[in-house]
Structure 1
Amino acid sequence: MAQNSRKINMADVARRAGVSMATASRALNNENGVAESTRRRVLAVAEELSYVVSPEASRLAGGATGRVAVVVPHISRWFFATLLEGLEAVLRAADLDVLLYHVDGIEDRHDFFHRLPARRKVDAVVVLAFPVAEEEQRRLELMGVTIIAAGGQHAPYPNVCIDDETAGRQAMDHLIFLGHRRIAMIAAVDPDQPGELAPPGRSNAYYAALRDAGIPSDEQLVATVNWGGAEGADAMARLLSQREPPTAVYAHSDEVALGAVRTLRRAGLRIPEDMSVTGIDDHPLAELTDLTTVRQPVRQQGELAGRMLLNILRGEETDHDVVVPTQLVIRGSTAPPRS
């Protein structure tokens, strides 16, 4: 059984691993000059002892490391890149360095959280837009530093996000107001995250809006796919194969919605005359393609998370749960259904 991490120091790790203090330090900090087999042995001992690099031992005379770890599941997607851009701009202006950890996929994610407590010395960790499982929460908390989240999460950390259910209701209420009664939902999940489900708020909004309008829900009008444009196109094809297709489609994201638009156009259907389509996010392509959507201020969420973190590190008062408002943006992809 692992010993209490507060009673363990680097000398204990070095002694158990059979190496010098200097070698243990280099191995734990991933520095050069250590054989890979030795590094693995030291890290294994640190894991066994639940050793955490003491923040006090790593701080400079100024009282801080000046580094923040940012964990992000995707860096090539617009949403994550824009969120990171806002966060990094605020932290850079405060002379804080950002250490970026890209956990794209289940194996990367498992390896990151397994090695996390002993591998870096940082003042804080920011988790961007993915749910943190209970075991991962425990690994993060072993670091003994400030942890915040931005862009949506399912963990008890200070966070900045939108209300997904409110955003979904804005999209659904718009379609119902136009007169649509047979409305489909294309729900999206992230296959790279373990146990990931479609954003519950966006799905809850679909059923709640139908219920409040007195419209019976029909599970044949619900398609759940992996997150992406091609997947949205495939889902739309399945919805069109029904004897009585929908007159409107509510997609969990603009990328998914634009995939649906491609299928509709290839099928010779007019938008919005034959089918209305709406998404969520206000992706840059949404304006170019005249897509009705619900706008969320992505960069602003990153900036607010950065300011929240700075306030916490400085010991200043701050709001720990910030919900950023969303806005329905009506464009040319929605209209009343045909008579």
Structure 2
Amino acid sequence: MAQSSRKINMADVARAAGVSMATASRALNNESGVSEATRRRVRAVAEELSYVVSPEASRLAGGATGRVAVVVPHISRWFFATLLEGLESVLRAAELDVLLYHVDGIEDRHDFFQRLPARRKVDAVVVLAFPVGEEEQRRLELMGVTIIAAGGQHAPYPNVSIDDETAGRQAVDHLLFLGHRRIAMIAAVDPDQPDEVQPSGRSNAYYAALREAGIPLDERLVVTVDWGGAEGADAMAKLLSQPEPPTAVYAHSDEVALGAIRTLRRAGLRVPEDISVIGIDDHPIAELTDLTTVRQPVREQGERAGRMLLKILQGEETDRDVVVPTQLVIRGTTAPPRA
């Protein structure tokens, strides 16, 4: 096709493809209501004419922007980075752009929800492992776009996650099955998030498992620390200072568990001969260190959240509350207690 020196617009694409402007817009913005054959024809014409969809023009016209905002509290940590990688791979394949909002700390969080920098610039918001409070929910809803979550949250959005309480029960029940009765818990909280939105499923699992096993709760065996390996090491030191230390330790994450193991080894104790340790997540380093853990498929959660979002944006039916199963992975840091 011949092209003039003037800038090509959507009307040119629609005319050349033999469709209406509305159909051309839906095809180029990956909206529903267009057959696959028509979508391919319109895109082929747009490519031949070197036409590029303007997100701003599309937005002002009331159409899709082709952008998705992703809100994440930490991007340097393995869990969040892997979750984001899975989500982005699906959205990229669908030709959707990702706007990343790194909300790291209480002040960043407050600023984001006050300003809502993504407002009117995106088709959807994905909240990654980011529990949202009631006031924050109201702020997000002002955007008037689809909101979904992945990796754990406490808001009424379509979501993909594991069941933290189930994962915790898999860990504690394993220790009980081995014969342990004096089981400690190192609970981890995120210091960068408000107390009222801290998840509690992994702690609930511990209390429920002991209660069902008829084991009285010893509060001295519960230590709560900030999330991290060094913090896990400090928590283990506190547990060892008890008159009767535990025979097993349940940690909320693998990083915390590995910190605990460092303290045990420096104290001259053997794992698992003297004390068993189990974590949750199956961090890549867990296999290298032979850590018994409960595996959660992190990248899969991101991918499934991406596919869920695409179906919602296209007006298709989809499950809106997806729980991805976890799996006990027995390695070398758990064993029956010494006789």
Q: Which residue of 2 aligns with 1:103?
A: 103
1:126-137 alignment to 2 at 5 Å?
A: 126-137=126-137
Assess if the C-alpha contact under 8 Å between 1:83 and 1:151 holds in 2: yes
Q: Distance in 1 between matches of 2:235 and 2:205?
A: 19
Q: Which residue of 2 aligns with 1:244?
A: 244
Q: Which residue of 2 aligns with 1:210?
A: 210
1:73 Cα shift?
A: 0.2
1:324 Cα shift?
A: 0.3
1:329 aligns with 2:336: no
Q: Which residue of 2 aligns with 1:303?
A: 303
CA change 1:127–1:118 in 2 (3 A) is closer
1:90 aligns with 2:85: no
**CA displacement, residues 10-56 of structure 1 (integer Å, 9 cap, x when unaligned):** xxxxxxxxxxxxxxxxxxxxxxxxxxxxxxxxxxxxxxxxxxxxx99
Task: Determine which structure has more spread, i.e. the larger CA radius of gyration.
Answer: 2
1:221 aligns with 2:221: yes
Q: Which residue of 1 aligns with 2:265?
A: 265
- Matched length: 285
**CA displacement, residues 152-206 of structure 1 (integer Å, 9 cap, x when unaligned):** 0011100000001100000001000000000000000000012256531111110
Q: Distance in 2 between matches of 1:263 and 1:198?
A: 26
1:337 Cα shift?
A: 0.3
CA change 1:197–1:336 in 2 (3 A) is farther
Q: Which moved more, 1:295-304 or 1:135-144?
A: 135-144
1:217 Cα shift?
A: 1.0
Assess if the C-alpha contact under 8 Å between 2:154 and 2:197 holds in 1: no
Instruction: Name the SS for the 2:139 alignment partner.
Output: helix
Q: Distance in 2 between matches of 1:117 and 1:221?
A: 44
CA change 1:103–1:320 in 2 (3 A) is same
Q: Which moved more, 1:130-139 or 1:318-327?
A: 130-139
Assess if the C-alpha contact under 8 Å between 2:249 and 2:277 holds in 1: yes
Q: Which residue of 1 aligns with 2:8?
A: none
CA change 1:84–1:287 in 2 (3 A) is same
Q: Distance in 2 between matches of 1:69 and 1:228?
A: 28
Instruction: Name the SS for the 1:59 alignment partner.
Output: helix
**CA displacement, residues 85-139 of structure 1 (integer Å, 9 cap, x when unaligned):** 0000000000000000000011111111111167551000000001111111111
Q: Distance in 1 between matches of 2:233 and 2:118?
A: 44
Instruction: Name the SS for the 1:305 alignment partner.
Output: helix
Q: Which moved more, 1:152-161 or 1:196-205?
A: 196-205
1:58 Cα shift?
A: 4.9
1:62 Cα shift?
A: 9.6
Q: Distance in 2 between matches of 1:92 and 1:118?
A: 19
Q: Which residue of 2 aligns with 1:277?
A: 277
Instruction: Name the SS for the 2:99 alignment partner.
Output: strand
Instruction: Name the SS for the 1:69 alignment partner.
Output: strand
1:59 Cα shift?
A: 2.3
Q: Which moved more, 1:133-142 or 1:176-185?
A: 133-142
- The unaligned stretches of length 5 or more in structure 1 are 1-54
Assess if the C-alpha contact under 8 Å between 1:68 and 1:97 holds in 2: yes
1:162 aligns with 2:141: no
Assess if the C-alpha contact under 8 Å between 1:72 and 1:101 holds in 2: yes
TM-score (normalizing by structure 2): 0.82
- The unaligned stretches of length 5 or more in structure 2 are 1-54
- Matched letter for residue 122 of structure 1: V
Q: Which residue of 2 aligns with 1:114?
A: 114
- Matched letter for residue 103 of structure 1: V
Q: Which residue of 2 aligns with 1:182?
A: 182
1:256 Cα shift?
A: 0.4
Assess if the C-alpha contact under 8 Å between 1:187 and 1:198 holds in 2: no
Q: Which residue of 2 aligns with 1:290?
A: 290
% identical aligned pairs: 89
Q: Which residue of 2 aligns with 1:49?
A: none
Q: Which residue of 1 aligns with 2:317?
A: 317
1:209 Cα shift?
A: 0.7
1:63 Cα shift?
A: 3.0
RMSD of Structure 2 on Structure 1 (CA): 1.7
- Matched letter for residue 243 of structure 2: R
Assess if the C-alpha contact under 8 Å between 2:185 and 2:222 holds in 1: yes
Q: Distance in 1 between matches of 2:335 and 2:88?
A: 40
Q: Distance in 2 between matches of 1:325 and 1:62?
A: 39
